[in-house]
Structures are given as C-alpha cells and as structure tokens.
Amino acid sequence: MLDQVAKIAKSGVLRLNFGIFTQIPDMKNAWILFIFSFLIGQTKAQDSLVIRRIYDEALLRGHAYENLRQLCKDIGPRLSGSAQAQMAVDWSYEKMRAYQFDKVTKQEITVPHWERGTTETAWYKSVNQYGAVRKLHLLALGGSIGTNGLLEAEIIEFKTLAELKNAKAKEVEGKIVFLNQPMDAAQIQTFKAYGACYAIRGNGAVEAAKLGAKAVVIRSLGLPIDEHPHTGSMHYEKDIPKIPAAALATKDADALSTALQAGKVRFYLEMDCREFPDATSYNVMAEIKGSIHPEQIITIGGHLDSWDTGEGAHDDGAGVIHCLEALRILQTLGIKPTHTIRVVFFMNEENGNQGGQQYAKWCLANGEKQIAAMESDRGGFAPRGFGLDGPDQYLSMLQSFEPMLRSYDLHIFDKGYGGVDIGPLKEQYPGIPLFGFVPDSQRYFDYHHAPSDVFESVNKRELELGAAAIASFVYLLDKNL
C-alpha cells in the first residue's frame, strides 16, 4: 500500500475532495499523502452521514406533501395577475417567515395579465355524415384573443408546422387550421419529444394567420390519448393579424383527423379570452446566510405561478416546495452553509418569465455575487439526478457527486438544462453554472398544463425524495464551489 502511495506522491498529484485536483510539488514523504487521503476519507464519511440525515428528515418528518396540499387545495391555480397568484405570494411569504429563515423578502415585479374568461366551447360537424356533431375538449392557448362570438369555418389539417408553411394561401384562407403533430413516443427523454413539437403551439397562430386562416387549433402537447387538453403560451407578431388559438385533447384530435379523412368538416369555436393591463406581483425569497462567504449567493427555486387549469401541482408547485423543503431541512439539521443559500419562488414563468428576468437584473443592480443556481421545474416525480448548463469546468465537480448519491437512485450527472427562471442569470453573470433537477420524465406530459395537474397526481414519497435529493445536492454544491 505504501508503495502505491509513494508512486502517487512522486507524481505530485493528489485528488482532493469531490474532484478538485491540487498539485503537491516535490512531495517526498508518502505519509503526508497518506494523512491527506485519510482526511479526505473522513470527510466523505461525514458527508455520507449528513446526506443520510437529510433523507431521514425528508422521509420521516417532512413538510413537503402538506405544504403542496395547502398550495394546491387552499389556493389553487395561480396564473400571473390573478387573485390566486396574489394569495400564493402571501401564503409563500408567511410560510417562509414561519420557518424563521435568516431573511425573508418579496421583490416587486410587473407581470402580464391574461384571463381565459368563460369556458371555451367547440364542436365539429362532418359534412358528409348528415351533420353528425361531436363536442370537443379544448382550451384556449395562453395569450390568445377571443372569437367574439361563435366562429365557424371549414377546418384543414396539417401534420407539421413545416407543412403549413409550405401551403398555398388559397388552401388556407378563410379556414381554421388544425396542426396535428403528435409528440414522438419513441423518445426516451420526453422533454425532447416536447421540444420537437413546441413550435406548433408557440408559432402556429402566426404561420396560419400569414396565410389568411381564421383560427388555429393544435393537437395538445401530451403523450397520452385522453380527454385532457393542454394549454400553454403562444405568441403573436407585429403586423401579422391576431387569430384565436386553442389546443384539442389528443383523443379529440385523433377523432377529428379521422373525420377529415372521410370528407370536409366544419368547425365551431367560441372563446372569451381577455387581455388586461400589466399587474404588480412579486418574487418571494428566503435565505440562510453563509458562514464564511455570506456575500456569495447560491440561488435555488422554481416558479410559483401556474396555468389556470388544474392546480399547478407538478408545474410547478412541486418545484417550489422541493426548494422550500430543502432549505428547511438544512436549517432544521443545523447545517451551516459556507455561502448564502437563497430560495426564490419566481412569478410569471408560464407566460413571460418576468420573475426570472427581473430577478437577475435586480441581483446585479444590488451588487450581488451570484455564484451558482439550481431550478426544479420538471414535476414531482422520482428523482434521477442533475444537469449542468454552464462551463465544462463544473462538470467534473457535478460528476464527483454521483458516488455519494448513487445509493439514493440518482445517476444523471451530465450536461443538461438549468431552467427558464434561472436562465437570465447567464446574461448578468457570464460563466455562472446553472443546474437543473432531473426527475423521471415519463409521466410529466400526462399532466403538463392540463386540468389533470392536481395535488392527487403527486406521489408523497416521490415528492419527498426529490426534496431530499435537492437538499443533498445543495449541501455538496456549497462545499465544493
């Protein structure tokens, strides 16, 4: 053993804790290296005990599930500018104060205010089937204009946005466009399937309007074939006419496509969407002050707002509760971070990201030194690991966490995506590492932006495991930055 230690010593390289390499020139005494190695082993053993305590606290004495219940059931959906969003701000602020963190505050921001209005209604009628009518499950897309009464027109189907762009105006003018691009079920990582067809939702109304369409209806961005339509943000462009935009449940999209194969179909749509002046809202923040570098801040968080259907349980009630619970666990266990750990409940991720953008600018204007950020915004499912959006120099550090967390079923420690809310920090702090919490993704798009995203869809143990994983990650991150 001493011969092996001596060889390492002769090389002049000692691998210190969690992947940080330190040069030790001209080391002649292998015992020095042995002592260093022993101390490193002791540190890792101590870290293992701390992580075990973190998981015990989350699983045996956790607050996450009850806090999520309160947010979903006592407040409900929380679209920016709504009364529910303001109630969520108040609830979050008081909850953080009750935990007696070192500092709790609100950052005032300005957010858009769009309302769905009365419940949408839609039908289609098959012209060749003697007027057979089918009522549909449909939601307006966020930001859409209303129909100003009942809108009626022939509907025309396109399988992709590219197919629509290549169409002739005479094919589309005066009709309703139906974009029927399904998510790719062959994708193992469902977020890749979502990203591949996001454009039909985001840009569909613009491209249809360019060709003279009266409205656009898309296939919901979800993998299951069911009756739950999925809303989400869309946009308009200057000098392009605004047309109504909505999403059909996947089951109804399949039925409509089948009807169109048999002949012409008339579509009937009524939506009462409304745009209001921008509103005042808040990011809600709490922090534990760093014991050595209090001026250096690690931001963790998710978005407090949600769409106005369902209860925003997975998107992103689970995310904000994950991070609140992580901070509570660190404080409860008496773990003193080296750097200041700040949890932020961001407002307005769903339809503007004003919370994330204004937070990043606020941090820089206040002279803060943001050194890292982590976001949870992929649901409350079983944790799988963390992804890095940042310089490669942080990748070896992230990957060095894997041996400590492998026994907790965490295995993803690789390049990835941080999050919408923390993304603007890159503009204000070039080179900052952003980390994204990665839970199992297979069921996320069953609920994403749908009425089915309710408290009952979140598994208690999976939510608690996610909070424990984040608390453990933050503990290790703080020690290694």
Catalytic residue annotation: 349
CA distance 103 to 287: 5
**Residue 168: other Cβ atoms inside 10 A:** 8
Residue ranges of E strands in 185-291: 215-219, 245-248, 265-270, 274-288
What is the C-alpha to C-alpha distance for residues 331 and 96, in angstroms, rounded to an integer? 12
Contact yes or no for 164/179 (Cβ under 8 A): yes
Q: Is the dihedral of CA 258, 137, 158, 260 positive or negative?
A: positive
* Alpha-carbon distances of 310 from 75, 139, 176, 253, rounded to whole Å: 12, 12, 27, 21
In angstroms, what CA-CA distances link 50 with 325, 329, 406? Answer: 16, 11, 15
H or E element in which residue 419 lies: none
State whether residue 157 is helix, strand or coil.
strand
216 neighbors 208 (Cβ within 8 angstroms): yes
Contact 343, 326 (CB under 8 A): yes
Cβ atoms of 314 and 372 within 8 Å: the answer is no
Rounded distance between C-alpha atoms, residue 237 and residue 207, angstroms:
10
